[in-house]
Amino acid sequence: MKKLLVFVCLFVFAVPSFAKDMSSEIAAAAERINPQVIKWRRHFHENPELSNREFKTAEMVAAHMRSLGFEVREKVGKTGVVAILKGGMPGPVIGLRADMDALPVKERVDIPFASKVTADYLGTMVPVMHACGHDTHIAILMGTAEVLAGMKDKIKGTVVFIFQPAEEGPPGDEEGGAELMVKEGVMDNPKIDAIFGLHINSQTEIGQIGYKSGAAMASSDWFTVKIKGKQAHGSAPWAGVDPIVTATQIIQGFQTIVSRQSMLTRAPVVITVGKINAGVRENIIPETLEMAGTIRTLDSDMQKDVHERMRNTVRTIAESQGATATIEIDTKTLVTSNTPALVEQMLPSLYKAAGRENVFLREWTTGAEDFSYFGEKAPSFYFFLGGMPKGQDPAKAPGHHTPDFYLDDSRLDVGVKAFCNIVFDYSSEV
């Protein structure tokens, strides 16, 4: 019996010892490669590409992954790249994801590698900028691949590196993003057991990692409302049916769904009308109006309920005004929800990467992420990496999707360490 107890004790203490040894090796390798990761990031920042048009980005990524000896698949989900690393020992299949696309935003930041790129977006030439930090995600995952390639024989299982296009949404009527990659089988060949992703954050200090268990980011739906009234002279509104007045009442009705019909103690709801088109002249009541906006929810049941309430609101208010109206709702992303057991399991990996004192529980956000589609297929964990200069006031840090968006890229090694520790720790515990 004593021999058995000694064996059990030795086994129990052997696993953390192995993990600790790997974490030191990972840290040293991540710090060595950090200058190259920064160089990659700045190259991508200076040469951004829009959604579904990440041709040169994908080409550079694929070349790097091939140079490491990985199996590489290109043109997955249009311009995506998938690379597969098979470890030296049997084990689980772990997915790591980075998004690659930039935004139609003109950069105002005064940095040597600022973007001066313009590109065609739905028939219009627009400035292009990595205004959300996807350039850092690509570079971090490339660095992670290089570190893990050097430790290949010690890895249990397989690592699938997913470089995804069109996270910001494919243009026009095109398909794209995580949903298309999933449709094309990226989670099934090989079948991924757990998937991980990160997002840089311009209002979180460098060296820090934020996370949330369960619902972390909102679903994103886009809606379009079309109203038909009756045209009339602006001096005689009683002779017509005013779609503009009808629209204002519908907008108020939408806000009542949020403030009076949704259980906000359960989860937040946001309904925003961002665009209204109607009329050609000041003294003419138009016949038609079209408005569009977005819906954000953090609970899938509430998402369905809000959709139904919006349809009812549009129909009944239009009828009360003598108008007719329709609403179309297009789901762009699902709720990004982190699997609670996986979060708990992987927190030590984040502590190793950043130090326990630099890992914090954050609030959920009404921002959205199509990483949610990967999470429908396997347990998932999506966390946030700091990119704000040390000591800056988060309230004054420029936000994402803005011309002044700025990142301190000096600590991208924290992201590399996080991914690498996750690979070793997850594979050792399943």
User: Tell me: the pLDDT tens digits for 332-360?
Assistant: 999 999 999 999 999 999 999 999 999 99
**How far apart are the C-alpha atoms of 188 and 386, rounded to whole Å?**
32
Q: Position 202: which residue type?
A: S
**Please, what are the domains in the chain?**
18-212+362-429 (3.40.630.10), 218-333 (3.30.70.360)
Q: What pLDDT, on a 0 to 100 scale, did the predictor assign at position 373?
A: 98
Q: What pLDDT, on a 0 to 100 scale, did the predictor assign at position 429?
A: 80
Q: Within the chain, which residues score under 70 in pLDDT?
A: 1-21
- Count of alpha carbons within 13 Å of 404, Cβ hemisphere only? 5
Q: What pLDDT, on a 0 to 100 scale, did the predictor assign at position 50?
A: 98
End-to-end CA distance of the chain: 27
Q: What pLDDT, on a 0 to 100 scale, did the predictor assign at position 2?
A: 45
**How far apart are the C-alpha atoms of 151 and 136, rounded to whole Å?**
23
Q: What pLDDT, on a 0 to 100 scale, did the predictor assign at position 228?
A: 98
Prediction pTM value: 0.92
**How far apart are the C-alpha atoms of 42 and 338, rounded to whole Å?**
30
Length of the chain measured in residues: 430
Is the distance from CB of 220 to CB of 113 less than 8 angstroms?
A: no
Q: What pLDDT, on a 0 to 100 scale, did the predictor assign at position 361?
A: 98
Q: What pLDDT, on a 0 to 100 scale, did the predictor assign at position 21?
A: 66
